[in-house]
Amino acid sequence: MKYTIVLEEGLDGGWSATAPDLPGLLLMGDTRDELLASAPEGIRAYIESARELGMPIPAPGAALAQVEVSA
């Protein structure tokens, strides 16, 4: 499965990410590369926890698009 994650750089230089298809999931890393390297394990842990709690596992479906705006 391939889930979309949305990356954001923090003010302290750290990175965080959310996954639109996985409510409540927050991934974090000191660097962008660290975050991307640890993301699969974080998503697996989320799915395992959801299964243990009897919650449905959302299917991947979110997509990203960038919109250009002149301000």
Q: Specify the pLDDT at position 24.
A: 95
CA distance 6 to 41: 16
DSSP states of 1-67 = -----EEEE-TTS-EEEE-TTSTT-EEEESSHHHHHHHHHHHHHHHHHHHHHTT---PPP-------
Average pLDDT, 10 consecutive residues per value, the chain (71 residues): 95 95 96 97 97 94 92 86
Q: What is the pTM of this model?
A: 0.87
